[in-house]
Structure 1
Amino acid sequence: MATHAILAEKTVSISALRNNPAQYFSDQPIAVLSHNKPAGYVVGAELFEYMMKVIETQTEARSFEARFRPSVAQLKELRARGAELVLEMTPEDMEDYEE
């Protein structure tokens, strides 16, 4: 027999939820059970909006890291400068490199 994690303090059967769903929208998640297994969760509008803001903040934080990557223009400039440096190398400089 498998056990299922219920990530809420309160539960409601799917049958009871169908009878009067509005009474279950609250500031705490409520697990909806079907055959004594979690089928989903019900949350109130305020909690849902808060959860969306948290997700958005985390997404923005992850995309912020991407700003530190070089742009296409910067990569082209680095490539051009690297090519210039290679062309400026003397035979003595090349002795340090092997295939």
Structure 2
Amino acid sequence: MATQTLLTDETVSMTDFRKHPAEYFGDKPVAVLSNNKPTGYVIGAALFEQLMALLEQAAPEVRAQFNPSASRLAAIAARGAELLAHASDEQLGEFTEV
């Protein structure tokens, strides 16, 4: 029989997690189980930010996996500008430029 390692003290079934997901985004990680096996871990924003800061210190290249590059952001902005420039009044609805 294969064993599964749990990296946290708290667990929740996938069924319960789906019912009330916001309850599990706290300051401690929670293992989400499916068929009594861990399928993932849920952590709150503050803990995620702490983990990212530590990970970036150890391996700076990791940040690129979570943040779009400058060229990707420029492409997204250009596409947005193009869509706005060619949008009809109906598509824009009640949009007003500030």
Q: TM-score range by the shorter chain?
A: 0.5 to 0.7
Structure 1 CA distance for aligned equivalents of residues 27 and 56 of structure 2:
20
Structure 1 residue identity aligned to 2:33: L
Structure 2 CA distance for aligned equivalents of residues 31 and 58 of structure 1:
25
Shift of 1:6: 0.4
Deviations 1:10-56 (Å, cap 9, x if unpaired)? 00000000000000011110000000000000000000000000000
Q: Rg larger in 1 or in 2?
A: 1
Which residue in the other structure is 1:6 paired with? 6
- Taking the TM superposition and a 5 Å limit, the aligned residue runs for 1:1-99 are 1-60=1-60
Structure 1 CA distance for aligned equivalents of residues 40 and 4 of structure 2:
12
* Structure 2 residues not aligned, in runs of 5+: 61-98
Which residue in the other structure is 1:96 paired with? none
Shift of 1:59: 1.6
* Structure 1 residues not aligned, in runs of 5+: 61-99
Could you tell me the TM-score, scaled by structure 1's length?
A: 0.59
CA RMSD of aligned residues (A): 0.7
Which residue in the other structure is 1:71 paired with? none
Could you tell me the TM-score, scaled by structure 2's length?
A: 0.60
Which residue in the other structure is 1:86 paired with? none
Task: Report how many aligned residue pairs link the two structures.
Answer: 60
Runs of 4+ aligned residues of structure 1 deviating over 2 Å after TM superposition are none
Q: What is the percent sequence identity of the aligned residues?
A: 52
Structure 2 residue identity aligned to 1:20: H
Structure 2 residue identity aligned to 1:55: L
Structure 1 CA distance for aligned equivalents of residues 33 and 59 of structure 2:
31
